[in-house]
Structure 1
Amino acid sequence: MRIVLIILTLLTSSAWAEPLPQWRVFFAPDRLAQVEKHFGAKGVDEVMKLHDFIDARLQLSLPPFDHLKPVNDYFNQYRFVSDQRHWQQPDYWATPFEFVASGGGDCEDFSLAKFFTLRVLGMPSVQMRLMYAKALELNQAHMVLTYLEQEQAMPLVLDNLNKAILPGDQRPDLLPVYSFNGEGLWRARAFDQGVRLKQGENGILLWQELLERLAAGEGR
């Protein structure tokens, strides 16, 4: 529940509307001490590798789009492992630091790590969506990160199953269900803009309600 609520806070916080110059606070000594407590020296090494990766990318002063492939490749080097095996829980959303420190995670963890790292590198939230889909060949739920260059553009898919970044219309193995970001929640059956789900003026409220139900174990 703690991790779900942290993710919710980060997704809906106005702080994510702009690049994050304060990103280094996430690597402060007290936070690294917590990493070492739970994951040992190896975990700290992996977290600091992420720090160095982000720092090196920022030094290049590139447009956010140019970070897509390096970020996708960086996290795809980690192993896929189910939540039940990894965390002894049926569903657990790891922070990017838990993901790298523990050596891997499931599809949500890959997607969230990519989302937050790209945010630090200056990618606007509005150009990215976390998308739940059905992986048809595996016959199971799956999450990917999508990038929309323009509002009506065909999104690019960043995925841990197919490591190549491809337009959605070249991923017939995925059936989109819904997507979300800091601005709202959308229902879709294809890689298009989908139907925005609203509650009052703000689709975020529906997403908050959904996460609260998930955190409480309802609706399963």
Structure 2
Amino acid sequence: MAGCWSLRGARAWDESLMHREMRTRYGEAGLRRLQAWLDMLKAQSGLSVAQQVQAVNDFWNQQLMASEDMLIWKEADYWATPLESLGKGAGDCEDFVIGKFFSLTHLGVPPQQMRLIYVRARIGGMGSTQSIAHMVLGFYATPQADPQVLDNLVSSIQLASQRTDLSPVFSFNTQGIYVRGERSAPSDRINRWQDLLQKMRKEGSDAL
């Protein structure tokens, strides 16, 4: 079960280190969720990207309980690694998106085909003016495509044009930060993103 492995050209993960980290920090329940993640990724190897996107979205929406950073981490804003989120079994919207993003990059989906998108999400049904800050993952089949939205608030994957409850603010990926669809700055300006990548390297799941 332990060892290093990679899928479709993705950088190898140190699975032995990931298991040790999970066992030490989160115990047997965390280990079970970690193994379920690794098993899901292995099962999706070689399947179509459409199947992978659906499987990854379903997995994270089912595995994590939606919560808030202050309740989970005692911090106002904490970006958890996938291992940390699975260890806790809970996460906020960023944590769902991070888990989905790195699952898909490990399966070989180019990171430039995805963006982590900050939005204002309208809640309370049609006609409501109440909204919350939220994050979703956008998957772009082609650079100019209407992206598919992977969201923990709505379980089904829909095109962005269908999600009239979401108002984009800005987005980013490994190539940069985008405002109104145009690249405005490099992503290394997002300190929490850089801290996240550093934590993942220490856990053995350096995905980029």
Higher helix share: 1
Aligned to 2:151: 159
Structure 1 residue aligned with 2:91, among 100, 105, 108?
Answer: 105
Give me the identity figure in percent. 36
Aligned to 2:44: 57
Distance, in Å, in 2 between the alignment partners of 1:22 and 1:35 is: 18
Q: CA RMSD in A?
A: 1.9
TM-score (norm 2): 0.81
Which structure 2 residues correspond to residues 44-83 of structure 1 after superposition, within 5 A? 44-58=31-45, 61-77=46-62, 78-83=64-69
Aligned to 1:123: 109
Q: Tell me the CA shift for residue 65 of structure 1.
A: 2.9
Counterpart amino acid of residue 37 in structure 1: T
| 3-state secondary structure, aligned to 2:145 | coil
Distance, in Å, in 2 between the alignment partners of 1:132 and 1:120 is: 23
Which structure 2 residues correspond to residues 1-220 of structure 1 after superposition, within 5 A? 19-23=9-13, 25=14, 27-28=15-16, 30-58=17-45, 61-77=46-62, 78-137=64-123, 139-188=131-180, 194-197=181-184, 203-204=185-186, 207-211=187-191
4+ runs deviating over 4 angstroms: 212-215
CA contact (8 A) 2:79 2:192 kept: no
Measured against aligned partners, the alpha-carbon deviations of 1:114-144 in whole angstroms (never above 9, x if no partner) come to 0000011111111110100011225221010
CA contact (8 A) 1:111 1:130 kept: yes
Measured against aligned partners, the alpha-carbon deviations of 1:168-211 in whole angstroms (never above 9, x if no partner) come to 011111110001111111012xxxxx1220xxxxx32xx32242
Q: Which has the higher contact order (CA 8 A, sep 6+)?
A: 2
Q: Tell me the CA shift for residue 214 of structure 1.
A: 10
Unaligned runs of 5+ in 2: 1-7, 124-129, 196-208
| 3-state secondary structure, aligned to 2:164 | coil
Aligned residues: 181
Distance, in Å, in 2 between the alignment partners of 1:213 and 1:62 is: 29
Counterpart amino acid of residue 25 in structure 2: H
Counterpart amino acid of residue 99 in structure 2: A
Counterpart amino acid of residue 168 in structure 1: A
Counterpart amino acid of residue 211 in structure 1: N
| 3-state secondary structure, aligned to 1:153 | coil
CA contact (8 A) 1:19 1:124 kept: no
Q: Tell me the CA shift for residue 21 of structure 1.
A: 4.8
Counterpart amino acid of residue 195 in structure 1: E
Aligned to 1:14: none
Distance, in Å, in 1 between the alignment partners of 2:27 and 2:103 is: 23
TM-score (norm 1): 0.77
